[in-house]
Structure 1
Amino acid sequence: MDPLSAVLSLLKPRSYTSGGMDMGGDWAIQFGPHDGIKCYAVVSGECWLAVDGAPEPVHVSAGDCYLLPSGRRFRMASDLSLPPVDAQTIFRFPLNGAIATYNGGGACFGLGGHFALSGDSSMLLKVLPPIVHLAKDSDRAAMRWCLERMMQELRDPQPGGYLIAQQLTYMMLVQALRLHLAEQADGSVGWLFALADKQISAAMSCIHNEPARRWTLQQLAEEAGMSRSSFAVKFKETVGSSPMEYLTRWRMLLAADKLSNSSDPISTIALSLGYESESAFSTAFKREMGCSPRQYVRGRGETHLLEAKDGSRQARIPRSPRDTTPTKQVRWGPRDLGHPVHG
């Protein structure tokens, strides 16, 4: 499995709302903060898109696609100077394969969906800017095919159409990430952009396909077809972390997924990821995630993920009914598979 597929499989994107928006006349809509990632494409017409914290608004037109991975408030409008309408007054229910119409429609029509992510979603979201804008002149035959198929499903609903729309939206997301990778690889740092480098991507694939193997720097360098020293330097410059740091972080993200979604004992998980003892695994897990595996499991039971002022995350460990001690806060930073620098 290639690294992008491996990461998306770990995060398990779920399209919990997919459909279309048909805007008419002069309009402006304000959307609140959101979890996960939004992926939309403009089928006809044009509009402006402004995201809180983004350097400047983006003009999108027919054939353009955009991702909103930051979760920040954003505004869509024919004219950004217009007073906006709250999106909740228009989209009162999830679209779920339907088309929402405002002001009679006809001016701007878009398709797409909203994805929820499992696990440490910062692994993906942190390597993306607030707005990922893919212009229509990109090489996007696959994207056009997805849009055409979605239009057919929405205009002529058939049994199973909602499920098909979800899967088509997922394909749009993957294709959008591919296109962004192809357009932004030069000068950007992070695991996603490193996939454009054949040598580094080869080493990353080895780590993803065999996380339990006792990889050495020399072995990974040989897989990349490079000398040990050159590989170490290039990996750090491209990914943002050393090969061994990347390996450890990927193992711990896999471990967190297993702790959350399986009943495997910690000792079994440790062995499956290349650790000979539970204690060695627990030490590595705590170093990366900020809490022990057992604390992580307990915290997932009634987890409240809190955003600290420094951007780190906190897991509230639930107490027993008789426990009157202060609730313990276990913090883990949103460490990803390499620190992104958007160039």
Structure 2
Amino acid sequence: MDPLEDVLTLLETRAHLSSGLAAGGRWAVRFDAPPGVKFNAVRRGSCLLEVDGVDAPVALAEGDCYLLTQPRPFTLRSDPDAVAVPAGPLFVAAGDGVARAGAGDDVFLVGGRFTFGDRAHELLLGGLPPVIHVPAGTPHARTVAWALAEIDRELTHRPAAASLVAEHLAVVMLVHVLRLHLAREPHAVPGWPAGLADPVVAAALTALHREPARGWTVAALAEAAGVSRSTLAARFGATVGQGPLEYLTRWRMELAARRLRTGGDTLAAIARGVGYGSESAFGVAFKRVMGVPPGDYRAERSPGR
């Protein structure tokens, strides 16, 4: 796995599709702060997106999509002077799977939201801007458009397992939107995402994620990345904000935390699985990174609580 795939898998990323929105004439729809990460794509027409706390509206054209990475209220509108109505009643009345606003249907949007498990803010969302806008015409936008067309096809024709396939396609869309953002603004997201833009650091990150339980040294990582130890240490620290072995320790603890939350493995088995020869050494590292001993962490976050 690569680091982005690893993080999205660790966070148990799930897509939840919602009714479409058809609108025409002069219109505006006000949405409450969404749970999770909201996404919409403009399949037809154009409109404006206004997000609370973001200075300027975002002009959306046909083929554009966007992510709202923070729980903020937002408004979609035809023009700045249109009077907004609340979204809730419109979507409750969407009996055919399409909510309607204004008069006509010259604008059509599809969307939904992504939800994540524990640690999403620390590992991914906390470093993202409140709005990620993907204009039509970019290579990643074309892939997003393909995914959306397939989602439309699944939900229109309803073959076997259509909802499941559509939700997986939405996650594909999310991956491409994040790839585009990381490529477009490689240093805007601190931590491991910034490291993906540096080929040397990316090679080291990939090696660590491929074999997290291995007894890595800086020398072994430098060899995997094809550079000297000093070069790797300097570039890793400058982009990721910590040394490669410190990053490895933190990633191991994230993997251990998932097993503590979701499984019944013993602490000794989890310690071995993430590269520790003793339960006590693992416990010390876990408490240093996560703030509580592993046993307490499991008790606080077990599914029955």
| RMSD of equivalent CA atoms | 2.3
- The Cα offsets for residues 204-250 of structure 1, whole Å up to 9 and x where unpaired, read as 01111111112112211221111111211111221222212211111
> Where does 1:97-112 land on structure 2 (aligned, <5 Å)?
98-112=97-111
Distance 2:133 2:252 in 1: 32
Secondary structure of 1:200's counterpart equals helix
Residue of structure 2 equivalent to 1:133: 133
CA distance in 1, matches of 2:168, 2:40: 14
Distance of aligned partners of 1:267 and 1:35 in 2 relative to their CA distance in 1, 3 Å threshold:
farther
Distance across 2 between alignment mates of 1:194 and 1:55: 29
Q: CA deviation at 1:2?
A: 1.2
In structure 1, how many angstroms separate the alpha carbons of the residues matched to 2:193 and 2:50?
A: 24
Q: Equivalences for 1:1-343 in 2 at 5 Å?
A: 1-92=1-92, 98-122=97-121, 123-139=123-139, 140-185=141-186, 189-301=190-302
**TM-aligned CA deviation for residue 202 of structure 1:** 0.8
Task: Confirm or deny: 8 A CA contact 2:147 2:173 kept in the other structure.
Answer: yes
SS at match of 1:213: coil
Letter in 2 for 1:34: P
Q: What is the count of residue pairs matched by the alignment? A: 303
Which amino acid in structure 2 is aligned with residue 173 of structure 1? L
Structure 1 residue 153 displacement after superposition: 2.8
Q: Write the distance in 2 (CA, Å) between the matches of 1:252 and 1:206.
A: 17
Alpha-carbon distance in structure 2 between the residues aligned to 1:257 and 1:105: 48
2:104 and 2:203 mapped to 1: Cα distance? Answer: 48
Report Cα offsets for 1:35-83 as digits up to 9, x if no partner: 3212221111111112223242211111111111112222222224433
CA positional deviation for 1:26: 1.8
Give the Cα separation in 2 of the matches to 1:64 and 1:240: 33
AA matched with 2:92: R
* Distance of 1:167 and 1:187 partners within structure 2: 27
Q: Indicate if the aligned counterparts of 2:128 and 2:189 stay in contact, CA closer than 8 A.
A: no
Q: Is the 8 A contact 2:33 2:72 kept in 1?
A: yes
Alignment partners' CA distance in 2, 1:218 and 1:81: 61
Deviation of 1:262 after TM superposition, in Å, equals 0.8
Residues 6-53 of structure 1, C-alpha deviation per residue, up to 9 Å, x if partnerless?
Answer: 111111211133442222222222222233212221111111112223
Q: Any stretches of 5+ residues in structure 2 without a counterpart?
A: none
TM-score normalised by structure 1 residue count? 0.81
Distance 1:67 1:187, change over 3 A: closer
Q: Which whole-Å deviations, capped at 9, do the CAs of 1:273-294 have from their partners, x for residues lacking one?
A: 1112222212211111111212
CA contact (8 A) 2:6 2:209 kept: yes
Is contact 1:41-1:64 (8 Å) kept?
A: yes
- Residue 193 of structure 1 deviates from its aligned partner by 3.2
From the superposition, tell whether residues 83 and 290 of structure 1 become closer, same or farther in structure 2 (CA, over 3 Å): farther
Q: Per-residue deviation at 1:264?
A: 0.6
SS of 1:276's equivalent in the other structure is coil
Instruction: Find the aligned partners of 2:200 and 2:233 in 1 and give their Cα distance.
Output: 12
Following superposition, the deviation at residue 108 of structure 1 comes to 2.0
2:91 and 2:48 map into 1 onto residues whose CA distance is: 19
CA 46–297 in structure 1, closer or farther in 2 if over 3 Å, else same: same
CA separation in 2, counterparts of 1:145 and 1:187? 27
Distance in 2 (CA, whole Å) between partners of 1:94 and 1:293 is 46
TM-score, length-scaled by structure 2: 0.91
Q: If each structure's helix is expressed as a fraction of its own residues, which one has the higher value? A: 2
**What's the CA shift for 1:117?**
0.5
Q: What displacement does 1:302 show?
A: 7.2
1:90 counterpart SS class: helix
Cα gap change, 1:198/1:275 in structure 2, threshold over 3 Å: closer, same or farther?
A: same
CA distances 1:161-212 after superposition (whole Å, capped 9, x unpaired): 2222212211111111122122222665432232132211110011111111
Cα distance in 2 for partners of 1:290, 1:56 equals: 39
